[in-house]
Structures are given as structure tokens and as C-alpha cells.
Amino acid sequence: VILPSELFQGPYFCVSQEEHWFAHAYEWRDHPCVTALSPVAKELGVAIPVSIFEKDGPQYYNSIVMLDADGEALGVYRKSHIPDGPGYQEKYYFRPGDTGFKTW
């Protein structure tokens, strides 16, 4: 298992409320981090939980896409606890997850 850090595709943007960051969210199956790391997982024969800023219709989530050792996406988990406080403006960006807890 290779475990990248949370929301690693760029700087941690949740320290302030800035609307332009919503343009960096994608549907989980087509997210650039997922499509870039899928062949890496397959080549190395490792599982990679990929942390993404997910867009699902009008909703936005802090999500994990689980890639298996064949590079296949097993599914998505949407973070259920969204912190809010100084330096953590996550509730501005993300809804609480609706996937329940996952095991792969």
C-alpha cells in the first residue's frame, strides 16, 4: 500500500474560503489523480488510496478512491467528519459523506 497525503494534488486549500478552488474538483472516476495513479498502481502491483476533491453533480466531497494492485478503482469513500475551525474551512468546500464506511 502506498498512502499519499490527504488532498495531495496541490496545496491544502481549505485554510480560507476561496471560490476558485471549486474548479479543481472532478467526478471520482475521471479525476486526474485517479487516472494518473491507476497505471502506477498496476505497474508496481500496489494498492493506492487516492485522496481527491470530488464533484458529484452540484455536491462536493473530500473523498478517497481505492485503487487495487491491478490499477482498478474499487470504489469511493466520502469523508464523513468535516472539520471547521481556524485553519480548517472544510465545511465551506465539502458536504459530509454519504457512502458510509468502506472496507476494501
Q: What is the DSSP string of 26-50?
A: B-GGG-HHHHHHHHHHHHHT--EEE
Q: What is the pTM of this model?
A: 0.93
Whole-number pLDDT of residue 84? 85
CA distances from 21 to 57, 92, 99 (A): 16, 11, 23
Q: Would you state the pLDDT for residue 15?
A: 93
Q: Cα–Cα distance between 97 and 37 in angstroms, integer?
A: 23
Radius of gyration of the chain (CA): 14
Q: Over the stretch 13-67, which tens digit does the pLDDT of each residue have?
A: 999 999 999 999 999 999 999 999 999 999 999 999 999 999 999 999 999 999 9
pLDDT for res 54: 98
Model pLDDT, residue 44: 98
State the Cα angle at 34 between 70 and 9, rounded to 5°.
140
Asked if residue 70 has pLDDT above 90, the reply is yes
- 84, 90 Cβ separation under 8 angstroms: yes
The set of residues, in sequence order, having a beta carbon less than 8 Å from that of 69 and lying 6+ positions away, is 41, 42, 45, 46, 47
